[in-house]
Chains A and B, each alone.
Chain A
Amino acid sequence: DVKVTQSSRYLVKRTGEKVFLECVQDMDHENMFWYRQDPGLGLRLIYFSYDVKMKEKGDIPEGYSVSREKKERFSLILESASTNQTSMYLCASRLDRGSYNEQFFGPGTRLTVL
């Protein structure tokens, strides 16, 4: 079974802090994704990565950056946390062998910025 783990289930930070969210997958997947989920807005893509050191902006990259130094790990960085970044953050990975493969999600990190 594919396993996607996220470093924290719940996180509380203060405005202006630098925040790191870590995601690790154990199935050698090429693609990894960071989403945020907000009520009424569904899942919105922040960044995704084709492979190691490769990254692409999603729909809402402002205020975020990412790092993928190793294939299994994809980090989301909030450079200076703000209250409007309070959200559920979901990491996903996907095998990039042909087109028709689903994403596997981690359990999510509920981030609160005070």
Chain B
Amino acid sequence: DQQVKQNSPSLSVQEGRISILNCDYTNSMFDYFLWYKKYPAEGPTFLISISSIKDKNEDGRFTVFLNKSAKHLSLHIVPSQPGDSAVYFCAAPLFNTGNQFYFGTGTSLTVIP
């Protein structure tokens, strides 16, 4: 049973516009969320995180929003750049089960120049 879900397998955005990637989760025990970015033939790299005590965390062009009541988070990239083209995974750890991380299936973002 997928506890972290990314329902959009792909997204195309024009350079300079906003990219919005979405993630839903089912387990109310999650209290920390991360976004990873993955280029082909490379391992994922950490991008940004958010704790459940916040509803927004910003780092440069990247902002993550958390809506706990809806069990939904989103990653906003503004402005989008061609180098942002990658697969984005959201993830959530469950520390009471030994630090297991649950990953979504990923969204492939293409930023069109």
Contacts and interface: CB of A to CB of B under 8 A. Distances in A.
A48 B89 CA distance: 19
13 contacts: A9-B41, A33-B101, A35-B103, A41-B105, A43-B89, A44-B103, A48-B98, A48-B99, A99-B32, A99-B95, A100-B32, A105-B43, A105-B44
A4 B6 CA distance: 27
Interface stretch (B12-20, B45-53, B77-85): B45-53
Closest CB pairs A-B (n = 9): A105-B43, A42-B105, A43-B103, A102-B46, A99-B95, A105-B44, A42-B103, A107-B43, A106-B43
A66 B19 CA distance: 39
Given A4-B43, A94-B99, 14 more contacts: A40-B9, A40-B105, A42-B89, A43-B103, A45-B100, A50-B99, A90-B43, A100-B49, A102-B34, A105-B45, A107-B41, A107-B42, A108-B41, A108-B43
A56 B95 CA distance: 13
Contact of B101 (A40, A103, A110): A103
Contacts, number: 58
Contacts of A44: 103
Nearest to A2: B46
Which of B44, B45, B91 counts the most A-chain CB atoms under 10 A from its CB?
A: B44
Interface residues of A, number: 29
A24 to B, nearest CB: 14
A58 interface: yes
Nearest to A106: B43
Contacts of A110: 41
A31 B43 CA distance: 17
A46 to B, nearest CB: 11
